[in-house]
Amino acid sequence: MTPQFKVDNWVINKTRDSIYKLQFEDIIRFEDNDIELWQPKVGEWCWFIDSTKNRISFVEYRGFENEEYYGIDAQYHDMVYSRVVEPFIGTLPSSIKDKQ
């Protein structure tokens, strides 16, 4: 059976009701029914990562269309689009945090 999850997926641990970035050791430790892939919900605050513009935005998620997530930027109040989204869990986005 092919694993449902990959390293670096954002997942929800259903038994602990927490969101985190999946690491290799987590794949071995959890059963597929213990975790589910995180998907943003309308109104949820997220990090939108746009590597082409070297921009990370704090965004209120509004929806998904044309292969992109979209939402309202918290700072500039404009519409932002991105193919890469991370949940806001009270910390910096992983692309910044991993470099520290």
Percent of the chain with pLDDT over 70: 84
| Per-residue pLDDT tens digits for 31-70 | 657 788 899 999 999 999 987 778 899 999 999 999 999 9
Phi, psi of 29 (to 5 degrees): -80, -35
Residue 85 and residue 52 share a domain:
yes
Residue 97's pLDDT is 62
How crowded is residue 39: how many other Cβ atoms within 10 Å of its Cβ? Answer: 13
- Residue 97 in any domain: the answer is no
Tell whether 32 is covered by a domain. yes
Structural domain span for residue 59: 45-89
Q: Are residues 80 and 65 in the same domain?
A: yes
pLDDT of res. 31: 64
User: Is 70 found in the same domain as 50?
Assistant: yes
**Residues listed for the chain:** 100
Q: Say whether pLDDT at 1 is over 70.
A: no
Q: How many domains does the chain have?
A: 2
Q: Is residue 33 part of a domain?
A: yes
Write down the mean pLDDT value for the chain: 85
